[in-house]
Amino acid sequence: MVKIPKEQRRYCPHCDEHTEQTVKEVTNRSASPWSKKARKRQRKIDNGYGSFPYENPANRSRGGSNPTSGKKDLEFNCKECGKSWKPRNAIRAAKFEIER
C-alpha cells in the first residue's frame, strides 16, 4: 500500500521553487484520438502488424506474467500560481491511497 499526503511541499516547475501543492488522482480521462500513441495504434489496426491487435490482452507475454500494479495518473496543483503539472516518472503501485 502506497500512501501519499494530499498536501505536500514540492518543487513547482512554473514558480521554479518549492511551494505548497495539493495532489489528486486523474481518473476517467479519455485518451485523445490525436495523440501520437493513439495514431500509432490506429495505424497498426488499419495496416496490421504481426498478431496485433491482440485478441485477449491477458494472453500477452510480458515476461511470463502481466503486471498487477499500474502507473498512477497524478496531478499536482500549486497553491501559489494555481497551475497544475504532472510528474514525469509516474508512481507504480497495486494499491494506492491519498491521505487526507
Q: Which is nearer to Zn ion, 7 or 80 (CB)?
A: 80
Alpha-helical segments (H) within 1-100:
36-47
Q: Which is nearer to Zn ion, 14 or 39 (CB)?
A: 14
- The yes or no reply on residue 9 touching Zn ion (CB under 5 A) is no
- The yes or no reply on residue 3 touching Zn ion (CB under 5 A) is no
- The yes or no reply on residue 20 touching Zn ion (CB under 5 A) is no
The contact mask relative to Zn ion for 61-100 (x = CB under 5 A, - = no) is -----------------x-xx-------------------
Residue type, 67: P
For residue 2, list its beta bridge partners. 96
Please report the beta strands in 1-100, taking only residues with DSSP state E, as ranges in sequence order: 2-5, 7-12, 17-25, 70-71, 74-78, 84-85, 92-93, 96-99
Q: Count CB atoms within 10 A of the CB of residue 75.
A: 15
- The yes or no reply on residue 12 touching Zn ion (CB under 5 A) is yes
Which residues contact Zn ion by CB under 5 A?
Answer: 12, 14-15, 78, 80-81
